[in-house]
């Protein structure tokens, strides 16, 4: 097990298997030392987690949705691992984008995104600091509450198969 996966376990989580694409796309793709993920939902065992993984976000369920953002982040990290071979090859987290399916009056998308940002810092420390966008949207696939995209910089020691 890798050092980073140990950090995930110490933070109280586990890294799932790599997500299967639901269409004609790749879960993650590497170009040079950057790995880009496709949007990842808060799925566990193929289903949106409850509470917080499904539906529109509002003040009542924003904390549950922040936890769902953490689950989506773990799925994104699993996608990164499927391309990098090991999360230990990550030099730093470059960018996190969090899409939040929210009620029209809801303006705390940044607080929902903190669920993923905090987890990145817990796992990677300073290497987990990143730039971020938190965007409110009308709908997400499967009626998910959040969707995560991640860009990471890896060292060049691993060669993709």
- Tell me the per-residue pLDDT of 46-59, one tens digit each, with 9 for 90 and over: 999 999 999 999 99
What interhelical angle do 3-10 and 109-124 show, nearest 10? 130
Query: Residue 23: what pLDDT?
Result: 87
Query: Residue 84: what pLDDT?
Result: 95
pLDDT tens sequence across 89-121: 999 999 999 999 999 999 999 999 999 999 999
Ranges of the chain with pLDDT below 70: 1, 157-161
From 14, 100, 114, select the one nearest 57 (Cα to Cα).
100
Query: Residue 159: what pLDDT?
Result: 46
Query: Residue 19: what pLDDT?
Result: 84
Q: What is the pTM of this model?
A: 0.94
Task: Identify the structural domains of the chain with CATH numbers, from first to last.
Answer: 3-154 (3.30.1330.40)
C-alpha dihedral sign at 159, 8, 115, 25: positive
Residues 45-67: b if buried by 16+ CB within 10 A, e if exposed? eeebbeebbbbbbeeebbebbbb
Q: How many CA atoms within 13 Å lie on the side-chain side of 1?
A: 10
């Amino acid at each position: 097990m890798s050092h980073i996966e140990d950090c995930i376990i110490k933070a109280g989580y586990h890294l799932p298997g790599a997500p299967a694409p639901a269409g004609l796309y790749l879960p993650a793709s590497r170009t040079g030392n950057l790995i880009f993920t496709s949007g990842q939902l808060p799925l566990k065992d193929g289903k949106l987690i409850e509470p917080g993984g499904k539906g529109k976000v509002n003040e009542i369920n924003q904390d549950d949705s922040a936890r769902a953002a953490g689950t989506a982040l773990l799925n994104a990290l699993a996608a990164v691992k499927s391309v990098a071979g090991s999360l230990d090859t990550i030099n730093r987290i470059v960018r996190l984008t969090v899409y939040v399916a929210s009620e029209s009056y809801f303006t705390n998308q940044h607080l929902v995104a903190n669920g993923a940002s905090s987890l990145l810092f817990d796992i990677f420390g300073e290497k987990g600091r990143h730039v971020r966008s938190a965007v409110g949207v009308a709908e997400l696939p499967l009626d998910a509450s959040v969707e995560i995209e991640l860009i990471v910089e890896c060292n060049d020691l691993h060669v993709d198969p």
